[in-house]
Amino acid sequence: MTVVGYSEEHIKTLEWREHIRLRPGMYIGKLGDGSSQDDGIYVLLKEVMDNAVDEYMMGFGKKIDVSINGREVRVRDFGRGIPLGKVLDAVSRMNTGAKYDSKAFKKSVGLNGVGVKAVNALSSKFLIRSFRDGQMKAVEFEHGVTVKEYPLKPTNEENGTEVIFQPDEAMFGNYFYISEYVDSMLKNYVYLNSGLVINFNGTKFFSRNGLADLLNENMSREGLYPLIHLRGEDIEIAFTHGIQYGEDYYSFVNGQNTTQGGTHLAAFKEGLVRTIKDFYKKDYDSADIKTSIIAAVSIKVEEPIFESQTKTKLGSKDMGPEGPSVRNFIIEFLKKALDDYLHKNPETARILLQKIQDSEKERKAISSIQKLARERAKKVSLHNKKLRDCRIHYNTNDARKLESTIFITEGDSASGSITKSRDVETQAVFSLRGKPLNTFGLTKKIVYENEEFNLLQAALNIEEDIENLRYNNVIIATDADVDGMHIRLLLLTFFLQFFPDLVRKGHVYILQTPLFRVRNKKETRYCYSPSEREKAVKALGPNPEITRFKGLGEISPDEFTHFIGKDMRLEPVRMKKQDSISSYLEFYMGKNTPERQDFIIENLRIEEDKVEVEV
């Protein structure tokens, strides 16, 4: 038995910046390269924005200027400005901030004085300027280390704070910002703060109607009935029902987008169901009431408690130290406001009732099929044959849950290679058998009747509610050939048809694997396109060995470690407001073969060893 020493010399105290850089996950969730909406570079921007928006919420400054130029990010608010004698401490001393004083920041997002320090520590360059009462104070940092503290000087600038930072490549790698992700974040801020103006790279974001604007922005078609928009002190709710499967929720606390919900979202669901049952005087199943809903919920809480520094899930039980519980506050609000609305709008109440009754009929029609499907899933022994599971999952409180990933692949050889190469802590593998069914135009009972889809649904743990999703990243990993592309389309059709929230909320990706391997005796390079191959050939000299990978099964487990590790290339599957799921599926997966054929011919671009259709 090896004896490990343990004495005073083994006890270490890290400086604040050293601890943040050593354990970034504790402060920003995960690092990432910008391909995912929850990657760290967006969290850094959010931390700075939270401070700027808090100033507006307290009644100071009506606009915020934001710009991203390459990798340099700038945020300028027009609030009160940081007190000039505390600028250095505010961004470089842990547990320093005004938000411990509830009189100054009554219902703020950031309460522990950590956020902007994490931005500082994880940035290669960080500059902060505070403009206050005709004077300016500036401090410059690199990797959290003070480079220069400038003396006070007079200024004609309006009061406020300016932060300029560049995330550190040493931490985030070869990262990039996706403007759609930034747009989405900034739009949420204006929806939740009617009257606030945010200028981003020449685009102005502004909202008059709050959460109603948010839902209209994110709905691809009108709801079955006009949006129900309810407002009260410290609470705002908007919702309608559509024709899609699943439930779509946007929840916020003090302007923070709580993507994983929490006590407020659970209370909204409970209050909605209870109020509707009471209004129609019938004990409808909660699933029939919530199916196809699209809703947004925003509350303001004193001293909110979140379940992590990234603030994606509310843990607060009460509205404040002396306030009611979050649950009772929301339920009582709905009981009065929603009941009043339905009484005053009988046509909306009629349409809502019809939607609930239609959902009830469909649920009952497939209930017997569900029972058989569950039994079949058990017999197939999902966790032993189809799914090679990982240890850390998205629906837990583990610190690495944002890294939880499932690869959906086809064939024993490909799934075998990924299984041998994966990180068993965070990466799972689901193996398809052949091409899945085209589910376009089919009803949800096909999910239970078709063994592959039934088992996939069970593996993802989304049968009852997408909030139970088992993996944060759902990655389609198929061969880079015609059959592989077809399987991708069939899987995306399945998700968009029955579980569109997986795509809307940014959980679905396409794995990019190399087309070529170019190597000589000293070096090996993997190339994802013919142009990368040509560059590699030139770099490696005369007559290198060139291998064309025809399928994932041809890539050895040893090589696969390069493609599903920290440098994994992922293409996010994204949707915009104008993207109509039904029209997309009708065009790409419907029976309009001649029309699709003409589209392919008109948009075909041919490169050596590669054929692409521009969409």
Same domain flag for 77 and 130: yes
Same domain flag for 35 and 172: yes
Q: Quote the number of domains for the chain.
A: 4
Q: How far is Cα 39 from Cα 228, in angstroms, rounded to an integer?
A: 33
Q: How far is Cα 353 from Cα 284, in angstroms, rounded to an integer?
A: 10
| pLDDT single digits (tens) 569-597 | 888 887 755 455 666 677 677 776 677 77
Same domain flag for 464 and 535: no
Percent of the chain at pLDDT exceeding 90? 35
371: in domain: no
Same domain flag for 455 and 467: yes
Q: Which domain holds residue 541?
A: 514-548
Determine the pLDDT at residue 255: 78
Query: How many beta carbons lie within 10 A of that of residue 480, not counting itself?
Result: 17
586: in domain: no
Percent of the chain at pLDDT exceeding 70? 84
127: in domain: yes
Same domain flag for 435 and 528: no
Does the pLDDT of residue 178 top 80, yes or no?
yes
Token digits of residue 590: 């419907």
Determine the pLDDT at residue 398: 84
Same domain flag for 160 and 45: yes
Determine the pLDDT at residue 457: 87
Determine the pLDDT at residue 11: 47
Determine the pLDDT at residue 485: 85
Same domain flag for 416 and 309: no
pLDDT tier, 104 (very low <50, low <70, confident <90, very high otherwise): very low
374: in domain: no
5: in domain: no
181: in domain: yes
Q: State the SS3 of 100-126.
A: HCCCCCCCCCCCCCCHHHHHHHCEEEE
Q: Which residue has the tokens 């349409």?
A: 351
pLDDT tier, 425 (very low <50, low <70, confident <90, very high otherwise): very high
pLDDT tier, 165 (very low <50, low <70, confident <90, very high otherwise): very high
| Ramachandran sector of residue 170 (left: φ over 0; alpha: ψ -120 to 50; beta: rest) | alpha
Does the pLDDT of residue 563 top 60, yes or no?
yes
Determine the pLDDT at residue 228: 95
| Ramachandran sector of residue 522 (left: φ over 0; alpha: ψ -120 to 50; beta: rest) | alpha
Burial of residue 541 (number of CB atoms within 10 Å: 0-12, 13-18, 19+):
exposed
Nearest Cα neighbor of 541 from 519, 570, 565 is 519
153-154 vs 135-142, strand pairing mode: antiparallel
Q: How far is Cα 500 from Cα 497, in angstroms, rounded to an integer?
A: 6
Tell me, what CATH number does 273's domain have? 3.30.230.10
Q: How far is Cα 109 from Cα 51, in angstroms, rounded to an integer?
A: 8
51: in domain: yes
pLDDT tier, 297 (very low <50, low <70, confident <90, very high otherwise): very high
Q: How far is Cα 126 from Cα 163, in angstroms, rounded to an integer?
A: 7
Tell me, what CATH number does 29's domain have? 3.30.565.10
Show which of 311, 337, 363 is a domain's final residue. 363
Entry pTM = 0.66
Show which of 307, 330, 363 is a domain's final residue. 363
Three-state SS for 419? helix
Determine the pLDDT at residue 604: 64
Same domain flag for 157 and 201: yes
> Does 199 or 450 have the greater pLDDT score?
199
338 Cβ contact partners less than 8 Å away, ≥ 6 residues apart: 228, 230, 271, 272, 275, 276, 279
Does the pLDDT of residue 383 top 60, yes or no?
no
> Does 35 or 190 have the greater pLDDT score?
190
Same domain flag for 486 and 392: yes
Average pLDDT over residues 396-409: 89
Same domain flag for 44 and 148: yes
| pLDDT single digits (tens) 222-247 | 889 999 999 998 899 999 998 877 78
Does the pLDDT of residue 18 top 80, yes or no?
no
Same domain flag for 43 and 191: yes
Q: How far is Cα 132 from Cα 603, in angstroms, rounded to an integer?
A: 56
Tell me, what CATH number does 559's domain have? 3.40.50.670
Does the pLDDT of residue 100 top 50, yes or no?
no
> Does 436 or 64 have the greater pLDDT score?
64
Average confidence score pLDDT of the chain: 82
CB 496 within 8 A of CB 508: no
CB 28 within 8 A of CB 44: yes
Same domain flag for 190 and 267: no
600: in domain: no
Show which of 548, 563, 597 is a domain's final residue. 548
